Structure 1
Amino acid sequence: MKIRYLIFTASLLIIWSCSKPKEINIDSKKLLKNLQILSNDSLEGRFFSKPGNYKTQKFIIKKFKDVGLQTMYQNNYLQEFSYTFKGQKRQDVFPIEKPTENLSNVSDTTAIGGNIIGMLKGETNKTIVITAHFDHLGIKNGKIFNGADDNASGTAALFTIAEYFKNKPIHHNLIFAAVDAEEIGSLGAEYFLQNFKNKENIVLNINLDMISHSDYDPELFAAGLYHYPNLRKPLEKIKSDKLKLLFGHDAPENKEQSDWTFSSDHRVFHREKIPFIYFGVPDHKDYHRSTDTYATINKGFYIESVKVIIQAIENFDVYLTD
């Protein structure tokens, strides 16, 4: 009888250990603090090529240095780029600015942006690129659009994810790309990929955009499996008892869900036939409004989202090596 009891108990322990969520240790306070800084009024909504955006770039560079990420561009994290809006006056491109007389006749507008890129070296030459855009909508009608969820949340997550992996053995190079100008057409992500050497070595893009706001059921979506169904197994292995990881928002014929295939920077990779998984939440009441602030994110949900994404990266790092 005692032997049967011991066997039964051992079986329960095996079942329990298999279903138990994996323990992911991160500095949650630092994660939240970085999000709070990135969505502060002092950065004036981080609009492309505006002073607040440039201040944001410097903050991200410091964080990448603190983690100890390798640089990729002449010992520099900053990948600067310019973009010319052909046939458009500056006040048409940047409507938040007041038109000035000396700009009224300018037919082309050139603006300077910048991606911040860092890397953890893996055991192979294959690469997983983790992207998050840091720009947002700036100031409109006197209101600051801080973009806490969109996308200070994804940007702050980059620092925490990099910190988690920096002393762990990894098979793939992990490139952390804080990209600019997503809100006006993914200009930063496009520039990054166009100028990436050995593009054929990129096996996956993981894009983080809006991962901190879930008002009702704690649900995070992973989009992309419709296009890349072979990526399902690593995601199905993820365990969390604090949020639901759902798949979807990627099938054009699904009339019940919006299709996110081209909704953020992962579209740049998809067009180049590079597989992607996009982590995000559906549009909510604060999306692209001045109320998207640190006060309106769901802190517990955000922390768990980052832990789930870390699990995904770990699983993909192993799965894509086989």
Structure 2
Amino acid sequence: MKNILFLMLCFFVVFVSCKEPKVIEINSEELLQNLKELSDDSYRGRLFSSPEGVKARKFIVEKFKDAGLQPINGEYEHEFSATLKKKQRQDLFPIKKKPLDDYSNVPDTTIVGGNAFGILNGETNKTIVITAHYDHLGVINEKIYNGADDNASGISALFTIAKYFKNKPTKHNLVFAAVDAEEVGSLGADYFLKNFNNRENIVLNVNLDMIAHSDYDPELFGSGLYHYPDLRDPLEDVHTEKIMFLFGHDDPNNREQADWTFSSDHKVFYRANIPHMYFGVPDHKDYHRYTDTYATINEAFFIEAVKVIIQSIENLDQHLYEEAN
């Protein structure tokens, strides 16, 4: 009898550990092409307030329409203004170390940027907001900082995720927001949230920032479970055999990992007491350097990372609905 029980236990362990990853079908070629487009030299690093930043936003709006997103209150984009002082170039970045001369030629004046957005309506009036920033560092010392991983990768993923869910209705509304001015203090995300109607119906922010570059072990992190442990179960049900999907970078008491809670646009939602999940990779050798180009991303890793994020959104959508009902 003991031998039979032992064999049954072994079978159960093998069965559970060999659960097949869910098949997620996306247009990988289109995903990569959109990243290549946004990180092209013609966008000159997509600096906040630059003509190339506007060009990127117009490209994003057209891609949102092509993905089937509907306008929000009749619009796909909003402009906003901000006053940047030279001293802010350094003071605005307590978390990430950045080049200090990005805005050395910008006087104390009001400049204009903008966000792009669209929605897929769900079965309830509750909303999940999926964000990624499209701005980067522009041109520094005559070198173009293309920002392929940071964050053309997140924006390209938005298009692919929207197309995936276009014909797969979710319980929640899915709002896709390509926000500006992350590199100067998440001004675009802040403006978006402050001007979003029915803000009280937002149940989750999913933020994508740097998801296409893994130098060594192919690691994608989901960050936020320290603050929102109830989200762990649906994420643990995400399966992949091609990359490592890990949790962490959210515990302020963990001295072995950087705390990413305030490292990108999700911090705006966190400060507004809206739960978030941030998907990203650790800083790599090309982070905030002119070498962050399409040539240095990891194509296979990026494709699988987007599939993992899609699985995560599906699971979180169902989990949050069940918890609320």
What is the TM-score with the length of structure 1 in the denominator?
A: 0.90
Question: Where does residue 168 of structure 2 map in the other structure?
Answer: 168
Question: Where does residue 301 of structure 2 map in the other structure?
Answer: 301
Q: 1:196 to 1:256 in 2, by over 3 A?
A: same
Question: Where does residue 281 of structure 1 map in the other structure?
Answer: 281
Q: C-alpha displacement at 1:200, in angstroms?
A: 1.2
Q: C-alpha displacement at 1:84, in angstroms?
A: 2.0
**Alpha-carbon contact 1:212-1:301 (below 8 Å) kept:** yes
Q: 1:82 to 1:281 in 2, by over 3 A?
A: same
Aligned-pair identity in percent equals: 65
Number of aligned pairs?
304
Aligned equivalents of 2:259 and 2:176: distance in 1?
Answer: 25
Question: Where does residue 31 of structure 1 map in the other structure?
Answer: 31
Counterpart residue type for residue 79 of structure 1: H
Question: Where does residue 312 of structure 1 map in the other structure?
Answer: 312
Q: Please give the residue correspondences for 1:238-277 in structure 2 after superposition, counting only pairs within 5 Å.
A: 238-277=238-277
Aligned equivalents of 2:104 and 2:132: distance in 1?
Answer: 30
Question: Where does residue 141 of structure 2 map in the other structure?
Answer: 141
**Alpha-carbon contact 2:148-2:297 (below 8 Å) kept:** yes
Aligned equivalents of 2:301 and 2:76: distance in 1?
Answer: 30
The structure number with the bigger radius of gyration is 1
Aligned equivalents of 2:297 and 2:86: distance in 1?
Answer: 39
Counterpart residue type for residue 279 of structure 2: F
Question: Where does residue 186 of structure 1 map in the other structure?
Answer: 186
Aligned equivalents of 1:315 and 1:302: distance in 2?
Answer: 20
**Structure 2 unaligned residues grouped into runs of 5+:** 1-7, 93-99
Residues 1:79 and 2:70 are matched in the alignment: no
**Alpha-carbon contact 1:69-1:119 (below 8 Å) kept:** yes
Aligned equivalents of 1:187 and 1:142: distance in 2?
Answer: 26
**Alpha-carbon contact 1:89-1:109 (below 8 Å) kept:** no
SS of residue paired to 2:255: coil
Q: 1:89 to 1:241 in 2, by over 3 A?
A: closer
SS of residue paired to 2:174: strand
Aligned equivalents of 1:85 and 1:16: distance in 2?
Answer: 54
Aligned equivalents of 1:149 and 1:89: distance in 2?
Answer: 25
Q: 1:247 to 1:153 in 2, by over 3 A?
A: same
SS of residue paired to 2:128: strand
Question: Where does residue 290 of structure 1 map in the other structure?
Answer: 290
Aligned equivalents of 2:102 and 2:137: distance in 1?
Answer: 9
Aligned equivalents of 1:98 and 1:254: distance in 2?
Answer: 35
SS of residue paired to 1:321: helix
**Structure 1 unaligned residues grouped into runs of 5+:** 1-7
Deviations 1:77-112 (A, max 9, x none): 11111112368799xx9955785xxx9xx6x41011
Aligned equivalents of 2:210 and 2:86: distance in 1?
Answer: 33
Q: C-alpha displacement at 1:133, in angstroms?
A: 0.2
Question: Where does residue 237 of structure 1 map in the other structure?
Answer: 237
Q: 1:308 to 1:139 in 2, by over 3 A?
A: same
